[in-house]
């Protein structure tokens, strides 16, 4: 385990206490740019300006970022963002990594969906991974954790797939829908896309920019605005709240940075054992 990682682990151990304290102080209405960052990132002020346009923030433990303590595959780092209901209605969640050359990973507009999303993305080096959830008062509630960027002892640094098999299947979707007991519906949906960042020599940026999930009657259920760091062939986990869970045919629409369209029909999935 490297020095960075030791540092990160000791930091994350202290995070809950830190974050609570910070949140209490700034919850008193003193939220403004330039506050101390509980993750002690030298990049915080910069990403606060770049990703959140310097708007008011509060570091809030109710916004949770869950990822592996050690990154095994830098091209596929799994992350889950959860925002507690205590925060109130959330209009937008921005996921970002301070030390990535392109910090913003994805913007999620949950609309009627739960303020929660799972996905995988690419990291360049050890970095804070954060989520900022904007509430009705325009304040961004920010949570996060450090992730190390190199793997365990028998893991090798990873390279993206160099296969061009995606060309004939670009933007095709695979998915499964799981109605949940609480009336929500879990969707796991993946699209065939190389998600090129434009940072690799000779390969221009080419990535999905917008996805909208609609119910059968056209009602939007959730909207995603991915950026370059989302992993290739992205897989998103969403918890939707459709009017009639498990009954209606959904549509996934959107497109990528080259204007290629996404248009997929997602009927209810067969349920194992009549679940």
Question: What are the residues binding other proteins (CB under 8 A)?
Answer: 1-2, 66-70, 72-73, 76, 78-80, 118, 120, 150-157, 171-176, 178, 186, 188-190, 235, 237, 249, 252, 261, 263-267, 269, 272
User: For residues 41-70, b (16+ Cβ closer than 10 Å) or e, as one string?
Assistant: bebbeebbeebbeebbbbbbbbbbbebeeb
CB of 135 to other proteins, least distance (A): 23
Task: State the residue for tokens 């869970």.
Answer: 245
CB of 8 to other proteins, least distance (A): 14
Of 172 and 182, which has the nearer Cβ to other proteins? 172
CB of 268 to other proteins, least distance (A): 11
Among 10, 5, 33, smallest CA distance to 127 is for: 5
Of 80 and 92, which has the nearer Cβ to other proteins? 80
CB of 266 to other proteins, least distance (A): 6
List, in order, residues 6 or more apart from 189 with CB less than 8 Å away. Answer: 173, 174, 175, 235, 236, 238, 252, 266
Of 48 and 214, which has the nearer Cβ to other proteins? 214
Of 58 and 252, which has the nearer Cβ to other proteins? 252
Of 39 and 266, which has the nearer Cβ to other proteins? 266
CB of 150 to other proteins, least distance (A): 6
**How far is residue 4's CA from residue 245's CA, in Å, rounded to a whole number?**
45
CB of 85 to other proteins, least distance (A): 18
Of 22 and 77, which has the nearer Cβ to other proteins? 77
């Amino acid at each position: 385990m490297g020095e960075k990682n030791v540092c990160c682990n000791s930091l994350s151990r202290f995070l809950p206490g830190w974050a609570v304290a910070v949140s209490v102080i700034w919850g008193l209405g003193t939220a403004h740019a330039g506050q101390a960052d509980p993750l002690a990132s030298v990049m915080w002020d910069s990403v606060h300006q770049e990703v959140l346009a310097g708007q008011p923030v509060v570091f809030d433990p109710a916004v949770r970022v869950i990822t592996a303590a050690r990154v095994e595959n830098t091209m596929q780092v799994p992350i889950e963002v959860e925002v507690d209901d205590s925060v109130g209605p959330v209009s937008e969640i921005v996921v970002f990594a301070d030390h990535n050359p392109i910090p913003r990973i994805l913007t999620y507009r949950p609309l009627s969906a739960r303020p929660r999303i799972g996905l995988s993305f690419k990291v360049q080096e050890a970095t804070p991974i954060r989520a900022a959830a904007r509430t009705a008062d325009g304040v961004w509630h920010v949570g996060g954790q450090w992730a190390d960027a190199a793997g365990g002892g028998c893991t090798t640094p990873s390279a993206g797939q160099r296969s061009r098999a995606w060309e004939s299947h670009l933007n095709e979707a695979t998915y499964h829908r799981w109605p949940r007991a609480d009336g929500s519906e879990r969707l796991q949906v993946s699209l065939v896309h190389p998600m090129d960042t434009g940072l690799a020599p000779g390969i221009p940026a080419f990535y999905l920019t917008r996805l909208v999930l609609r119910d059968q009657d056209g009602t939007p259920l959730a909207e995603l605005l991915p950026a370059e760091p989302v992993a290739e062939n992205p897989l998103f986990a969403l918890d939707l709240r459709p009017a009639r869970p498990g009954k209606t045919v959904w549509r996934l629409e959107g497109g990528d940075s080259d204007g290629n369209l996404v248009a997929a029909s997602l009927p209810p999935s067969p349920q194992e054992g009549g679940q």
